[in-house]
């Protein structure tokens, strides 16, 4: 009997993951934040429910969404990029209560490499995060919330910067001047590899692990974005000169190879 996968957050990545899992023969259910979005995706053939998570609780149809699911993949944007006092930990604790009530036993929690600080330098999953930002600290708290709760087995996937399709980070940098950290290594991952990694966790039943999901190639920013801008016929971004030798984080993975045996589809 095929498993049913719930995908919390049917956005740019979630919809593509859903399409891939359906092709593999899994049952797929998804959630979005509004009834309008749910209706739009239902018209495209997705089984989608409205679920909205706030500091006050979870509204919409969370139990209808979660009922009968073997695994839930959580890819809900934390909304912490510009810290405005949002309590991501409280939001996710409410959602965790719904997951436990629905008796879902396995979780894939999509997190971010922003849990690591630049000062940590070269990093694998064997290195504990030492975040200094409020956003990073909240992400780590949510990771621990899910990883340590009884009755659930969670794998955490820390994605680097996402790209693919029309999403090309260089478009936001094209033509800009005096950009910082030109000598920093890029920590990026293509959407196809995000989907490949998440699918392998499900197929191999690889739960109870932390995965740093970042391409193993790390060209420096100024060279990488110059090359990408040229390839896309965009204005080349210019980085300021750095007088002082700086420490930058470079995210690598041990577990993608040792646990999943994963080979990347896209090179940087």
More reliable by pLDDT, 228 or 79: 228
Determine, yes or no, domain membership for 180: no
Q: Which band of pLDDT confidence, cut at 50, 70 and 90, is reported for residue 243?
A: low
Q: Looking at residue 135, what is its pLDDT?
A: 87
Q: Looking at residue 172, what is its pLDDT?
A: 87
Q: Looking at residue 80, what is its pLDDT?
A: 61
Determine, yes or no, domain membership for 103: yes
Determine, yes or no, domain membership for 110: yes
Does position 8 have pLDDT exceeding 60, yes or no?
Answer: yes
Task: Give the chain's largest Cα–Cα span.
Answer: 61
Residue in 240, 246, 214 with CA at minimum distance from that of residue 120: 246
More reliable by pLDDT, 266 or 243: 266
Determine, yes or no, domain membership for 85: yes
Q: Looking at residue 165, what is its pLDDT?
A: 86
Tell me which residue has tokens 């191999």.
204
Determine, yes or no, domain membership for 182: no
| Number of domains present in the structure of the chain | 1
Q: Which band of pLDDT confidence, cut at 50, 70 and 90, is reported for residue 84?
A: low
Q: Which band of pLDDT confidence, cut at 50, 70 and 90, is reported for residue 82?
A: low
User: CA 92, CA 36: separation in Å to the nearest integer?
Assistant: 23
Cα–Cα distances in angstroms (integers) from residue 268 to residues 127, 164, 189, 195, in the given order = 24, 12, 9, 17
- Radius of gyration from C-alpha coordinates of the chain: 19
User: CA 127, CA 55: separation in Å to the nearest integer?
Assistant: 31
Let me know: does 82 contact 114? Beta carbons within 8 Å. no
- Sign for the pseudo-dihedral over CA of 256, 261, 266, 268: positive
Q: Looking at residue 198, what is its pLDDT?
A: 98
Share of the chain above pLDDT 90, in %: 79
Q: Looking at residue 77, what is its pLDDT?
A: 82
Residues 6+ apart with CB under 8 A from 243: none
Determine, yes or no, domain membership for 69: yes
The domain that contains 198 carries what CATH number? 3.40.50.720
Does position 81 have pLDDT exceeding 80, yes or no?
Answer: no
Determine, yes or no, domain membership for 43: yes
* pLDDT 10s digits, 32-66: 999 999 999 999 999 999 999 999 999 999 999 99
Q: Which band of pLDDT confidence, cut at 50, 70 and 90, is reported for residue 85?
A: low
Let me know: does 4 contact 27? Beta carbons within 8 Å. yes
**If you average pLDDT over every residue of the chain, what do you get?**
93
Task: Tell me the mean pLDDT in the region 240-263.
Answer: 89
Determine, yes or no, domain membership for 263: no
User: CA 109, CA 143: separation in Å to the nearest integer?
Assistant: 7
Does position 21 have pLDDT exceeding 70, yes or no?
Answer: yes
239: how many CB neighbours lie within 10 A of its CB? Answer: 21
User: CA 105, CA 100: separation in Å to the nearest integer?
Assistant: 8
Tell me which residue has tokens 């009997």.
1
From the DSSP assignment, how many helices (H) and strands (E) are in the chain? 9, 12
Does position 127 have pLDDT exceeding 70, yes or no?
Answer: yes
User: CA 76, CA 12: separation in Å to the nearest integer?
Assistant: 11
Token pair for 116: 């690591």
Instruction: Give the structural domain span for 69.
Output: 4-163+188-215+247-258
Q: Which band of pLDDT confidence, cut at 50, 70 and 90, is reported for residue 23?
A: very high
Residue in 32, 26, 249 with CA at minimum distance from that of residue 158: 249
Q: Looking at residue 83, what is its pLDDT?
A: 53
């Amino acid at each position: 009997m095929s498993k049913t996968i719930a995908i919390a957050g049917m956005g740019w990545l979630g919809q593509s993951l859903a399409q891939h899992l359906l092709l593999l023969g899994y049952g797929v259910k998804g959630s979005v934040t509004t009834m309008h979005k749910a209706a739009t995706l239902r018209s495209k053939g997705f089984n989608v429910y409205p679920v909205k998570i706030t500091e006050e609780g979870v509204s919409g149809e969370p139990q209808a969404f979660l009922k009968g699911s073997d695994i839930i993949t959580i890819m809900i944007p934390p909304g912490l990029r510009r810290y405005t006092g949002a309590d991501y930990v409280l939001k996710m604790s409410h959602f965790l209560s719904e997951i436990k009530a629905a008796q879902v036993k396995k979780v894939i929690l999509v997190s971010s490499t922003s849990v690591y600080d630049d000062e940590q330098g070269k990093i694998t999953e064997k290195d504990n995060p030492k975040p200094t930002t409020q956003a990073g600290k909240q992400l780590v708290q949510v990771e621990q919330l899910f990883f340590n709760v009884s009755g659930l087995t969670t794998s955490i996937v820390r994605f680097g910067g996402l790209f693919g399709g029309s999403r090309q980070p260089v478009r936001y940098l094209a033509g800009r001047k005096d950009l910082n950290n030109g000598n920093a290594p890029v920590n990026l991952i293509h959407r196809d590899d995000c989907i490949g990694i998440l699918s392998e966790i499900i197929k191999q039943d690889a739960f109870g692990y932390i995965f740093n999901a970042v391409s193993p190639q790390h060209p420096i920013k100024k060279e990488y974005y110059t090359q990408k801008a040229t390839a896309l016929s965009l204005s080349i971004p210019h980085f300021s000169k750095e007088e002082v030798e700086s420490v930058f984080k470079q995210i690598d993975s041990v577990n993608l190879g040792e646990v999943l045996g994963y080979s990347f589809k896209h090179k940087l």
